[in-house]
Amino acid sequence: MPLHVPPAPAPALRSVLTALGSPTAVRGTRAPVALRHAQGPLRPELPLPAHEMVSVAPCDPGASRTSPLTRLTGWRFLLRDAGADLAGAEATETDATHAAAAGTEGAATEGASTGAGGVGTHAGSAEAVLTADGWAFGQFRQGPYVLSTVRALRQAQLLPTAYQPRLLSFPELYMLTLWLHRDVTADPASGSPAPSDLLIPLAPAPPGIPAHQPHRVDALLPLLTRRLVRPAPLLRTPA
């Protein structure tokens, strides 16, 4: 089912577009390698509100607080490499021509499905953060979480329920998840994970937590809570 991707605040998008228009920011030595080697213009797409888990609370109706606490840290945009899209489309067209000449139309069709829309066309991500003066460009990112985010979004599109996609990080566990919120009309900048929401851990995930396996919030949070709780030190008793 299609995801309900919320629109990012216009000033947040403008800050990213301004950064993308700066040769120093995109092609400078401090820019991620994947961005410096992009084959064409970089286009921001699929804006996701990035939330951070501040405090994990049990999803127990009898508890004094039943919702985990989160806070918005920014908006993250995937950066599509338009030049790679063009190159992929041309390669697919060439492969299709050769396949048709060889009488292998099925192979040509299969190749076309993984061409311009493939995950390899995303060179990185850009993040906008909220400051005292409003939205400002934060940083460019690259690495495994970029392609893992694309993969998780595609997983979510195959689910029978409509969701609003968000990102949710667990800093203490060095863990990032795709948060699928059931209330598609909710304000993407606020709210807490509901027990029936889904979390898809992105790769690389912490040991013992399988990446790209959807978990209900009320099933995954207790596991994470146990990992965050450290045993109290043993009291020394006089000999």
| 236 in any annotated domain | no
Number of structural domains in the chain: 1
Spatial separation of the C-alpha atoms in residues 136 and 11, rounded to whole Å = 8
Q: Record the tokens describing residue 65, joined without a space.
A: 């607080």
Residue stretches of the chain with pLDDT short of 50: 59-61, 86-101, 103-119, 239
pLDDT value, residue 23? 86
| 50 in any annotated domain | yes
pLDDT value, residue 77? 98
Q: What angle, rounded to 10 degrees, do the helices at 82-101 and 105-112 form?
A: 170
- 3-class SS of residue 91: helix
User: For 38-62, b where at least 16 C-beta lie within 10 A, e where not — what string?
Assistant: beeebebebbbbbbbbeebebbeee
pLDDT value, residue 225? 83
| 237 in any annotated domain | no
| 172 in any annotated domain | yes
pLDDT value, residue 24? 85
181: containing domain: 10-228
Distances (CA, A) of 196 to 3, 10, 53, 170, 214: 16, 30, 17, 19, 11
User: Model's pTM, two decimal places?
Assistant: 0.79
| 233 in any annotated domain | no
| 16 in any annotated domain | yes
Spatial separation of the C-alpha atoms in residues 112 and 134, rounded to whole Å = 43
| 5 in any annotated domain | no
Spatial separation of the C-alpha atoms in residues 38 and 123, rounded to whole Å = 7
| 22 in any annotated domain | yes
